[in-house]
Amino acid sequence: MAAKHFDLNEARAAANQNLTKLRRDDAFCDLTVECGNTSIKAHRVILAARLRLVLESMRWWEGKAPCVTLEGDDGEDVASMIEFCYTFSYAEATAKDCGPLTKAVRMFALGDKYLISTLQTFAVDAFIHHLETSWDEQDFFEAVKLVYTGLSDPQRLLHNTIVETLRARYTSNSTWSTAFNDLLDITPGLAADAFRAIAQQPITTSTLGHKLKLYKCPAHPCPATFLSIIGEDEAHLWRCPYCHLISSLTGKGWELYIISE
Q: What is the DSSP string of 195-238?
A: HHHHHH----GGGTTPPPEEEE-SSTT---EEEE---TT-EEEE
Average pLDDT in the chain? 82
Per-residue pLDDT, averaged over 46-58, amounts to 74
CA-closest candidate to residue 134, choices 161, 100, 103: 100
Separation of alpha carbons 54 and 10, rounded Å: 28
CATH number at residue 80: 3.30.710.10
More reliable by pLDDT, 148 or 2: 148
The CA distances from residue 67 to 33, 43, 52, 129, in Å, are 6, 11, 15, 35
The CA distances from residue 135 to 82, 213, 214, 248, in Å, are 27, 15, 17, 29
Per-residue pLDDT, averaged over 164-182, amounts to 72
Task: Tell me what pLDDT residue 207 has.
Answer: 45
Domain assignment present for 16 = no
Residues belonging to the chain = 261
Helix (H) / strand (E) element for 249: namely strand 246-250
Phi/psi at 168 (nearest 5 deg)? -80, -30
Whether the Cβ atoms of residue 251 and residue 215 lie closer than 8 Å to each other: no
Chain segment 76-92, per-residue pLDDT in tens? 999 999 999 998 899 88
Total count of domains within the chain: 1
Domain assignment present for 108 = no
Least confident range from 19-33, 73-87, 173-187, 247-261: namely 173-187
Separation of alpha carbons 34 and 75, rounded Å: 8
Task: Tell me what pLDDT residue 60 has.
Answer: 55
Task: Tell me what pLDDT residue 196 has.
Answer: 73
Separation of alpha carbons 236 and 215, rounded Å: 12
**Does 175 score more than 60 pLDDT?**
no
Task: Tell me what pLDDT residue 198 has.
Answer: 65
**Does 61 score more than 50 pLDDT?**
no
Task: Tell me what pLDDT residue 205 has.
Answer: 42
Domain that holds residue 47: 22-87
Domain assignment present for 37 = yes
- In three-state secondary structure terms, 73 is coil
Per-residue pLDDT, averaged over 214-226, amounts to 82
Domain assignment present for 187 = no
Separation of alpha carbons 81 and 112, rounded Å: 12
Amino acid at the residue 84: F
Q: Binning pLDDT at 50, 70 and 90, where does residue 202 land?
A: very low
Chain segment 10-42, per-residue pLDDT in tens? 888 888 889 889 998 989 998 899 998 999 999
Give all strands (DSSP E) within 28-186, no chain letters: 31-35, 38-42, 67-69
Task: Tell me what pLDDT residue 243 has.
Answer: 76
Domain assignment present for 76 = yes
Domain assignment present for 41 = yes
**Does 217 score more than 50 pLDDT?**
yes
Domain assignment present for 253 = no
Task: Tell me what pLDDT residue 208 has.
Answer: 43
What is the pTM assigned to this prediction? 0.72
Domain assignment present for 178 = no
Separation of alpha carbons 126 and 176, rounded Å: 25
Separation of alpha carbons 159 and 136, rounded Å: 18
Residue 138 CB neighbours (<10 A): 12
Q: Binning pLDDT at 50, 70 and 90, where does residue 54 land?
A: low
Chain segment 89-140, per-residue pLDDT in tens? 998 877 667 899 999 999 999 999 988 888 999 999 999 999 988 888 899 9
